[in-house]
Amino acid sequence: MTVIVTGASGGFGREMAEKLLDILPPEQIILTTRTPEKLADLAARGAQVRHADFDKPETLAEAFRGGDRMMLISTARVGTRVQQHKNAIAAAKKAGVKHIAYTSVLGAEREDNPALVKKDHRATEIAMEESGLAWTHLRDSQYAEAVAGNVMQAAFALGKQVNNNGGGKVSLVAREDCVDSAVAVMTTPGHENKAYELTGAEALSFEDVTAMASEMSGRKLESEIVDSETMLGIFDAMGAPRHASDVVPEGPYKWSSDDMLTFGEAIGAGIFAPVTDHVERLTGHKPKPFRAVMEEQKPTWPV
């Protein structure tokens, strides 16, 4: 069995690659990336590192050659990545891959999910389901590190945490738990044509998170809920691009206002509140407590 990890030079992909190298013979691991030089250390450990560009579909079948299972890690181009993913799925089939797993999002299948990001993920899931290959959807909740890190950094800098999520709760999940789940799907049997909802062990509101950060830091930090129009004004004042198509790769923002606003609305609608035991079922261990993630991220807070 040979496992392919796409986007292996990214955070999720590298962490997964390193875990796979502790489990599988290195020659059974294919790591694809647009920047192979970033994986020179893993190539030195025996992994097969190959160049792959999802925007050049004619090159992908060769990059995936010899793989049996593929972990398709979502690319970062919100709103324009579906074709990239379809290119990868078609090339994997041509190369003889039998099973593809994908890093999707919690609530991707729900028609009542207002999050803009859901559209890309569900379109990719459908492409996988229609490919004729075995598939696994790994529907991740919001990463705990993003909230404990970036969101809290901004909150301490501003003096308060502002959001448009209506006080909704999120089952924040540690990225490493999502990586461990992906490794399990790629290295153990019985996951074909299944969807897993990867969440933390509890659902917390951003007010809960802010109160925790305030207590841990010893600095008073408030949480303010605003409507989406007010939140848009805040993003505009920051200079954030309004639409995914306006995001400049080399710019300061890798996200757009419409993406963030609709994500907040999805939280308010309860899309990210479900708590499941899927992480434990896949990995054999309980999800990492959110407070532990906060402790790790605390040194990044500007306090």
Written in H, E and C, the secondary structure of the chain is CCEEECCCCCHHHHHHHHHHHCCCCHHHEEEEECCHHHHHHHHHCCCEEEECCCCCHHHHHHHHCCCCEEEECCCCCCCCCHHHHHHHHHHHHHHCCCEEEEEEECCCCCCCCCCCHHHHHHHHHHHHHCCCCEEEEEEECCEHHHHHHHHHHHHHHHCEEEECCCCCEECCECHHHHHHHHHHHHHCCCCCCEEEEECCCCCEEHHHHHHHHHHHHCCCCEEEECCHHHHHHHHHHHCCCCCHHHCCCCCCCCCCHHHHHHHHHHHHCCCCCCCCCHHHHHHCCCCCCHHHHHHHHHHHCCC
Lowest mean pLDDT among 155-159, 173-177, 209-213, 266-270: 155-159
More confident residue, 249 or 186: 186
pLDDT at 245: 83
Identity of the highest mean pLDDT range in 73-82, 128-137, 238-247: 128-137
Checking if the pLDDT of 248 tops 90, the result is no
Among 215, 216, 209, smallest CA distance to 152 is for 209
Q: Provide the CB-side half-sphere exposure for 99 (13 A, CA).
A: 19
pLDDT at 199: 98
pLDDT at 292: 98
The domains found in the chain, sorted by start residue, are: 3-140+174-198 (3.40.50.720), 144-169+201-274+287-300 (3.90.25.10)
Q: What mean pLDDT is predicted for residues 268-288?
A: 98
d(CA 43, CA 68): 19
Tokens representing 240 are 């954030």
Confidence class of residue 252 from pLDDT cuts 50, 70 and 90?
A: confident
d(CA 303, CA 290): 20
pLDDT at 254: 79
C-beta of residue 167 within 8 angstroms of C-beta of residue 133: no
Checking if the pLDDT of 253 tops 90, the result is no
d(CA 91, CA 58): 8
Checking if the pLDDT of 77 tops 90, the result is no
pLDDT at 249: 76
Tokens representing 264 are 């907040």
pLDDT at 247: 85
Checking if the pLDDT of 285 tops 80, the result is yes
Checking if the pLDDT of 78 tops 90, the result is no
Percent of the chain with pLDDT strictly greater than 70: 100
24 phi, psi to nearest 5 deg: -105, 155
Checking if the pLDDT of 183 tops 90, the result is yes
pLDDT digits 0-9 by tens, 94-123:
999 999 999 999 999 999 999 999 999 999
d(CA 237, CA 107): 30
Q: What mean pLDDT is predicted for residues 8-20?
A: 98
Q: What mean pLDDT is predicted for residues 219-246?
A: 93
pLDDT at 51: 97
pLDDT digits 0-9 by tens, 125-157:
999 999 999 999 999 999 999 999 999 999 999
Query: Kind of pairing, strands 134-140 and 194-198?
Result: parallel
pLDDT at 99: 98
**Average pLDDT for the chain:** 96
